[in-house]
Structure 1
Amino acid sequence: MTISSRIIAIILVSLFILSGVIIYRSFSMINNLQHFFTHKVENGKIEERKRQLKDTFEFLISTESIMLESYKEDGRVQKVNDDILKILKKIHFGNNGINVVVSTEDGILIFSPITPELVGKNSLNLRSSDNTLIMKEFIEVAKNGGGYINYRMPGKAGSAPENKIAYVKQDKFSNYVIAVTAYFNDIEKDIEVIKDDVANSTKENFINFFVVAIAVVIIMIVISFFYIRFNLINPVKNLIARAKDLSSGDGDLTKKLEIRGKDEIAQASNAINNFIEKVRILIMDAKQLSSENSSVAHELSSTSLSTGKRVEDSTNIVNEVTQKSRTIETETFSCIQIAQEGKEDLQQAKSYVQDTNDSIKALSSQIVLSAKIEADLSVKINRLSQNAEDIKSILYMIDDIAEQTNLLALNAAIEAARAGEHGRGFAVVADEVRKLAERTQKSLSEINSTISVIVQEISDVSGEMNLNSKKIQELTSISSSAQEKISHMNDVMDKALITADKTLNNYVETGKNVKEIIKNVSSINDISTENARSVEEIASVSEHLNKMTEMLNKKLSEFKT
């Protein structure tokens, strides 16, 4: 597609889009005006119906007032309500569907032409079609000063529910709740008629506007076509013809386009001439640079060959260094393993020494405790020996007392014998006391012998315990010395472990350094290999550059500068 065709197509599309937007906006505006007008009419009808309901209520109240004044003069005030109800039954409010419903404050329905069967009954539970307790709501609104209520009720028994409105207020004289109600069906029919009229008028106006808009668009398209053809397409065709003549020749860059006037086409022609001049100068410079590139390519080719040889030698050296470095890495890793094993052996030996030290500490504690116990036992045994000696001295005193008792008994027997028959009883008692004293002396001799044996054994045990206490003290000194030596050995092993750690860390660090060296050497090897490839590529590129330079020289020679 030519540029002129694209311009015409863009203008046509733009005009169609503009027309479509104008038509759409006009249609939207007409619809909005239609809805606005319909909404205003509907609100006006509803307000008019509300005024009718309120005027009807006011009419009923004024009629009641007139009747009340008249009945007061006749003395029939009590009959006002009955007569008003009779009048309501006879009143016909026209074809607008207005009805009057009257009930008491308690919900007793007094008058209802729609539901006469509920008159005289409580209608508080009466529900509308939208499930509202309508009579209850009537009473609440009336007690609050009156107002309007919207609800739905069937127009006739068995018919579909319809929208309905009521004006409710309480009569001050009778206290009746009066609701003036009416349906919206006549208003809705009027609104539908108005909507149809507005829609028909809108449709007719829109069709007229659409026809006019299409005619205007067609006229604008024709005018735009001829204007573009004479002012844009023809000059562009002339420019294309000149450019083809310039490009289809022998490449003579000295020829220029013809410039007429100062419009955009003339400016474009001038810019093209300037571009051709720059191209001519550029090709002249390119011819000179191409000759220089040819000589540079020859030099680069010879230099890349010698560089490739040197890179190959360095690559061989780097490979040899890499192999030796890997050998060093293997030996270093072996040393690290040996050092690690030695460290583990030292740690195990330290653990054994520590366990031995702990055992000796426990043994030393037990020995010290045993020595203390032995010393305490020795003191207690000495004290027991002393107590036994004290018991022996007491026994000696008891023996003396027994001897004295025996002597007293003997004297008593002698005195009883002198007394003859009168002292026989006392002689028997003296004899028994003497026997008791003898048995006591015998028992004391046995006790004394036993205590002597016990004292001797206590002395022997005390001596042996003192000897054991001395040996335990010597053993405590030996265990303390052994504990000090093991502690010193533990310190020496700690130092050996620290040294082993340092040695192992040095080996590990050396291994890391060796790996880093191998990595760097490998990188150097890779770089050397890459350099070798690069040198080969440079040689290939230089050769290709030489060929391309020759081809460029041939191409550039085709242009006349």
Structure 2
Amino acid sequence: MNIRYKVTLPVVCAMTLILTCSIFSIVRLELLIHQYQELFQQDIHRLNHIASLESEFKSQVQAWKNVLIRNEEKYWQQFETHHSTIQKNIKNSLNQLTQVDAEYISLLTQVKNKHNTLLPKYLTAYQAFNATQSIVNTDKMVRGIDRDMANFLKETRIDVQTASNQHLAAINAQQTLVMTVYPIIALIISLVVIVVMLQLLKRTIILPLRALIANTVLIAQGKYDLPMSYPYQDELGDLSNAIVDIKTHIVEAVSNITVVKGEVEEAFGEIDNVSEQITQGSNDQERCSADMEKTIAGLADIAEQLQQHSQMALNSTNTVTNQATQCTDIVDNSANSMKILVTEVEKTSAVIQDLEQQAGSVSSVLDVISSIAEQTNLLALNAAIEAARAGEAGRGFAVVADEVRSLASKTQQSTLSITSVINNLQSAAQNAVSAMQEEISITTKNAEQTTLAQQSLKEIMQEMVQMTQLNNQVAHAAEQQSNITESLQQTLLQLQSISNNYKALAQSDKVSKTVANANHDLNVMVEKLRGNLSHQEVELF
């Protein structure tokens, strides 16, 4: 695997994992919103149903009072009609419910049974009233049974409201889990992946590269017996193999020159056979020159390959740097989107608060209407009493007073129903404001987490810049090796010149002096090959 894949693969995996966590959180949040909508529609329907039953039962009780006050058959028929309406309403609701609503089915069944037990008692009282025409005795027969039913309906409505609040609390708890715990888990996973990615880059690229550079410096200082190994088959592995080849060729060159030096010293010791020995030494030098020429050509090829691999590594690093820059831009855009989301949520919270205030104003108006209805009811009752005292002369006025009182009673009941709805609306608005405030806090935390991700990407960019510097240093070292190759070529030219001089000295009277000079020159060249790289300063890191 080359360096580009080693760098880009962890980055792609990290971004994929972060994106997966974000998509999972969004899906969960949409599911909670759907559950909240279903809960709101179901509970509002149930509360309205219970409220309608209460209103219908109050109308039934009012019809019974009209029976006692006016003693007319039509009011008893109204009483029975209200009773049938309540029973039919409950029966229709039970037929529409399923086994999932078992608790609500049980409540409606209890209401139906309890309400159904009232009709025989009222029928008995009505028959007694027709027989005795005694309002007081008849009222005693059924006194309190309507209050028990009204209280039971009220308790039923409270139970439904309590169940609704419990469902809403459960959904809010799940929402808190999605909006807080999941983002925290995603952040922890992201940080762990980033740390693992940095450690992987350090272990597979940076540390081996540093070790390779350190070994190269030691070889440049003349330590040719230093063992070198690289565990990965990538661009740096090719570079390591090239350096090993260069070291091998340099060692062979030094060994060959040392052999030549020994042969010259032996020729100098056997001065009596100087012509023959010098000729032999010249031939040996020619062979060594040919070997060195091949070695130098190999060194030149290796140096060129080293430069090519360094350029490839530099190009890969630049590509990774550009991709990391694109990731940084994406994270910046995400941070800006989070800020815009916070602003929009704050605006929505302000609108809901204004709605809550408007609902409070409507509640005040309803209080005034309720007070007027109570006063109208009292005035109608007083008018009915006065009409009863007037006898037949006030009978028509009594009918009008009863109608006014009935209208006032219905107005008061409607006002109570509207007040209950307004109170529920205010409570829901307050809960929505609290949820909006919680979402603002959570969104702000997400924006901070995005900022942390930006910092991590900047650290990755710094590591990429450091790798670019390392590649430049490797390229500089390759250039120095090219210079060394040129120095070896110059040394080869000198050896060829010396070889020609040896041939001339074979016929010369100054052979002894010439051999001594040649021996001195060889010593200089050997020392130069052994210590040439130690005098070159290579700046690393």
TM-score by length of 2: 0.35
More helix by share: 2
* Structure showing greater Rg: 1
TM-score by length of 1: 0.34
- Greater RCO between the two (CA within 8 Å, min separation 6)? 2
More strand by share: 1
